[in-house]
Amino acid sequence: MSGHNVWTHKGTFLLAAVGSAVGLGNLWRFPYLTGENGGGAFILVYAVTIFAVGIPILIAEIMLGRASRQSPIMGMRHLTKTHNTSRAWETIGWLGAVSAFLILSFYSVIAGWAIHYTWLMLTGSLVGADAQAISDGFDALLASPGLLTLYHTLFIIASGLIVGMGIHRGIESGLRIIMPALFAILLLVLAYSVMHGDIAAAASFLFTFNLAELSLEGWLQAVGQSFFTLSLGMGAIMAYGAYMSSTASLTRTAIAVAAVDTAVAMVAGLAIFSLVFGAGLETGQGPGLMFVTLPLAFAEMPLGGLVGGVFFILVLGAAISSSISLIEPVAAFLVERFDMTRPQAVTLMVIASWALGLLTVVSFNIYAEGTIFHTLFGRSAFDFIELLTNIFMPLGGILIALFAGWALTHSEVMKEMRTNETWFSIWRFLVRFIAPAAVAFVFLRTIPQVDGYLIPAIGAVLLVGAFAAGRTFLMENSQEK
């Protein structure tokens, strides 16, 4: 068994998990999806999913990591042996590794845009620019495969360097600098947006809801987003959990991660929409919300260049503290399984993900439309990879919930959770039934409309999951009791 590493301090897991959770998902994706989906109704589905489904699965995922003290794939392999369950459960680890690899590929490209905008803002290039100029500028960035590749490369190398230095000298030390700075900057930007924007309009946009307004794809996006923002269902949290101190409280930590993550999304949403409404701009811009609408708002405001620059530094810091958690599970697996050195493992993961990222790069220009990819999959490579992760993460989440709920024994869970019987029963009920059913419900409702041909694939994975769960259950009952 791998000589197991543990974070230096009891609280480091919390820091690392918050670093993973808070990222482009909160600052870029959440606001633009909310804007596209008309505000409140989207947030309602998102928030309910976080609390009813996200937190129990978060607890389950940390538990699997800490109980196995290995990388997700090897950890699941170990747990399937010690629990005498089907090897099929290893799917959790593999699904996670694949999702991490897919997410990192586009995450790094988008984070790269923030490098560009930090530069533009701090050099004052956008000060006083009008809407046309700013949106032309964004289009020009997207039209340039060279520039996009350059930024993508810089960002992914920076992330790789941190992980390559190891969990103590790299990840922990990095997070200790990045995270406090993030919270300070976020508050600064909020204060600025209260002074110069229209915070009341932002609040009413975010917190008035009409569920009937939410489209089917909106439902899927809301559920996908709640998994994405909590970094759930793909091994990042499990990998960090493997290093968690045995004495830190699982439940409290999980609730804290979800609360901080949601608070950051709300604050970012308020700040961004306050600036957008204050400048009289549109909310439904899509992915360009942060890169067109927001710079435009900053361009017209006092000290906009400086505050805008600081804002994009915040985006970069949040992105890098998340991207390192995408590299860690795969890197740790390569080290454990193939005896690679950490730098070798990180290099391999980063190069592979970088190469896949080139597909996202060209989705915005050379292969924007009308190519074979569009004909085959009905969308760009970037949209396709994103859709896959929107499905894989909740799917991984269901499997994690089922395994933790059915395969782990009462005493094991109690040892990890150290809680009373009532909380234990509530949690177990949520992961055994509610979380899987809720996610399955949304899948069944939305995916046929969104993408007919994916159903057989998902159905198959669900069947494997159900089969494995059933077998585990039978074995457990025939042996223990």
Cβ nearer to ligand PHE, comparing 25 with 40: 25
Among 19, 25, 93, 269, interactor with ligand PHE by CB under 6 A = 25
- For 198, the 3-state DSSP assignment is coil
Among residues 101, 228, 392, 406, the one that binds ligand PHE under rule CB under 6 A? 228
> In whole angstroms, how close is the CB of 237 to ligand PHE at the nearest point?
8
Nearer to ligand PHE, 129 or 236 (CB): 236
Q: Does 155 bind ligand PHE (CB under 6 A)?
A: no
Question: How far is Cα 229 from Cα 199, in angstroms, rounded to an integer?
Answer: 24
Q: How far is residue 135's CA from residue 129's CA, in Å, rounded to a whole number?
A: 10
**Per-residue contact track with ligand PHE, 56 to 95, x per CB under 6 A?**
----------------------------------------
21 binds ligand PHE (CB under 6 A): yes
Q: Is 231 in the site for ligand PHE (CB under 6 A)?
A: yes
How many residues are there in the chain? 481
Residue for token digits 């609040």?
203
Is residue 242 at the binding interface for ligand PHE, with CB under 6 A as the rule? no
Q: What's the CA gap between 52 and 63, in Å, rounded?
A: 18
Quick one: which of 339, 377, 382 has its CA closest to 359? 382
State the Cα–Cα distance between residues 458 and 462, nearest whole angstrom: 6
Q: Report residue 343: phi and psi, to 5°.
A: -60, -40
- Contact predicate 294/282, CB 8 Å: no
* Identified binder of ligand PHE from the candidate list 102, 134, 163, 234, rule CB under 6 A: 234
Q: How many residues bind ligand PHE (CB under 6 A)?
A: 15
The tally of CA atoms less than 13 A away on the side-chain side of residue 163 is 35
Span from 22-30, 289-297, 349-357, 379-387 in contact with ligand PHE (CB under 6 A): 22-30
Is 326 one of the binding residues for ligand PHE (CB under 6 A)?
Answer: yes
Asked whether the beta carbons of 304 and 294 are under 8 A apart, the reply is no
Among 90, 436, 38, smallest CA distance to 221 is for 38
Of the listed pieces 185-193, 225-233, 283-291, 439-447, which binds ligand PHE according to CB under 6 A?
225-233
Q: Which stretch binds ligand PHE (CB under 6 A): 86-94, 152-160, 229-237, 293-301?
A: 229-237
Q: Would you give the end-to-end CA distance of the chain in angstroms?
A: 30
What would the two tokens of residue 126 be?
């956008």
Query: Which residues fall within 8 angstroms of residue 341, CB to CB, at 6 or more apart?
Result: 335
- For the bound state, the minimum distance from the C-beta of residue 454 to ligand PHE, rounded and expressed in Å, comes to 20
Tell the smallest beta-carbon distance from residue 322 to ligand PHE (Å).
Answer: 4
Torsion over CA: 134, 35, 54, 460 (sign)? negative
Q: Can you tell me which of 20, 86, 108, 360 binds ligand PHE, judged by CB under 6 A?
A: 20
Q: Which of 178, 222, 236, 270 binds ligand PHE (CB under 6 A)?
A: 236
Stretch that binds ligand PHE, among 150-158, 224-232, 332-340, 418-426 (CB under 6 A): 224-232
Residues that bind ligand PHE (CB under 6 A): 20-21, 23-26, 103, 228-229, 231, 234, 236, 322, 325-326
